[in-house]
Amino acid sequence: MADNPHGFNPVKHKLGVPLSATVNPYYKKADYAVALFVGDPVVKNGTANLAEVNPGAEAFASGELPELAIGALTGGNTGVVVGKMTRSGNLETIHSAASIEDVILVCDDPYVVFSAQEDSGAGNMAATSVGLNTDLLIGTGDAVTGISGAEIDSSEIAATATLAVKVLRLAPDQGNAIGANAEWHVLMNAHTEAPNSAGI
């Protein structure tokens, strides 16, 4: 496969729920100096918007939007960026630029399966990687396309439960095969929205 990192794309729900029902709004503060791209893993940081936020479509009261940041390379995350709600001064991009307040749309259901490319940086994943866990690499998003540069870290494959994602299977895409930069279906581990998960 071509080396084309694109972040994590939601492909299906383990229970057959429509993917549109798995998306919720979150808050990115104006002083958060990191851009968020479509496909980036993100994690909520234990607080929420302190004042009303109005992205142009609807207003959100104080406390209604959990605040988030770029996801953890290992351990638990909240979900994946799938878009944003339009805000003044940031109309021309599909990603959320650094240091701009935004309402971010996140696929945050713990039972959503994502498709992502492995980085093949220190060797390739194998058939025996299925059922094991691994970590993430955030990479650099593309400011033109708005797409994430995140990938699966092929060098961290292990049975360790604290790693970020579980490898479910090779993605059944045309031309995809085990080897360099293969595409895999994964599930988030230690998801912050999972039942009985630890608080943040």
The rounded distance, in Å, linking the Cα atoms of 13 and 117 is 19
Per-residue CA distances from 142 to 28, 73, 137, 147 (Å): 19, 19, 15, 5
Question: Looking at residue 114, what DSSP letter applies?
Answer: E
Domain locations in the chain as residue ranges: 20-107, 112-188
Q: Kindly state the helix (H) or strand (E) to which residue 107 belongs, with its residue range.
A: strand 102-107
This prediction's pTM: 0.94
pLDDT in tens, 37-79: 999 999 999 999 999 998 776 899 999 999 999 998 888 899 9
Output the pLDDT for position 9. 97
Output the pLDDT for position 26. 96
- pLDDT over 70, % of the chain: 97
> Regarding beta strands 41-48 and 66-70, do their DSSP bridges make them parallel or antiparallel, or are they unpaired?
antiparallel
Neighbours of 113 (CB within 10 A): 20
Listing DSSP states for 31-88 in one string gives T--S-B-BT-EEEEEEEE-SS-B--SS--B-TTSSEEEEEPPSSS---EEEEEEE--T
Q: Stretch 29-33: mean pLDDT, rounded? A: 94
pLDDT in tens, 84-121: 987 655 667 889 999 999 999 999 999 999 999 999 98
Neighbours of 16 (CB within 10 A): 7
Output the pLDDT for position 90. 60
b (16+ CB within 10 A) / e for 37-46: bbbbbbbbee
Locate all alpha helices (DSSP H) within the chain, ordered by sequence. Answer: none
